[in-house]
Amino acid sequence: MGHVHKTKILKFVLCIPIVLCIINFTPPCVRYLIGFIPMEKCPLDSGKKLNLDYSVDANLDLWSRTDVQTCTSWKAPVIWEGMFEPKLYDEMHTKERSSVALTVFAVGRYLDAYLRTFLNSSERHFMVGLPVTYYVFTDLPKKVPDIKLAPQRSLKVIKVDRYSRWQDISMMRMKTISDVIESDIRHHCTHVFCFDVDQVFTGRFGSEALGESVALLHAYYYHLPKSLYTYDNNPKSKAYMEAGDLYYHAAVFGGSWKSVKALTEDCYQSIMEDKQNNVEARWHDESHLNKYLWLHKPSRVLSPEYCWDTSIGYRSDIQVTRLLWAAKHYETLRT
């Protein structure tokens, strides 16, 4: 029996108890079993056969991690600990004069709850050694904390409106990011990374993550079979998908400024068309992001190391954590 056939059988067998757990509402059981579902494996024998963002990507060791998926079907790398040499990427991006804009929204109570910790941890771990400009979008500019920044790093505060629904804040950030890329970022930075504020950097989130179009594997979905991905299932929505490749998390996405501008513009247009038709996508901007990245494949995919939730529990394939979900307090922050 071939390896592919055996893998399909194993996935089917493991999915049976997972579905039973879902039916019986036992999340710990689900999380434990999901970790045993094997991921697809990279069919390439060398990093040289990838569709390269940069020449240094040819040095990626795709088979240093036989336990996980290290490339996609369209030959984009999936970045995991052990695959790359940090020094090679840092030297290359320094030589190329790469610079990064980091966008983050801290609206309402989210500012007091998360922003200071997010920024301080970013200073310790995000793109250390490269020029970084923080773009903080908030309805409370005077409350943005004073953070000690390293050389070549700066912070800009941009006032935004506060919407009554958190879903609208989440979705409308796409237009705001697109607008500031056009008016400011494209004149100063080569790359853009967009983050949710309720996260904490805990390890290197470095230049190996930079690429033309960068997406993040969702920590809760990367072991699941595609049949369990929660794409938007409403044919009336612009985010509607019958099937897809991977499931991406909207808490982190990035790329060149041109790529991120194209993504945010497209998602905003889709969101507004849905609004005109009185439709709201299943997971709001994340649903639209997944649809866009299905149609426009990312050139680089980050493993869940780059945005992990410790409540999932132990996973042998998560050897390091680079960014963690902060404790959520939705009952107080979203009211």
Token pair in block for residue 124: 């310790």
Beta bridge partners of 150: none
Catalytic residue among 81, 286, 305, 331: 286
Long-range contacts (CB closer than 8 Å, 24 or more residues apart) made by 61-69: 65/317, 66/41, 67/39, 67/316, 67/317, 68/39, 68/303, 68/317, 69/39, 69/40, 69/41, 69/42
265 tagged catalytic: no
Q: Is residue 259 within 8 Å of 212, Cβ to Cβ?
A: yes
Continuous H helices in the chain: 3-23, 27-34, 86-95, 109-110, 116-125, 166-180, 186-188, 257-276, 285-295, 330-333
Between CA 137 and CA 239 the distance in angstroms is: 25
**The tokens of 276 are what?**
């005109």
Residues labelled as active-site residues: 286
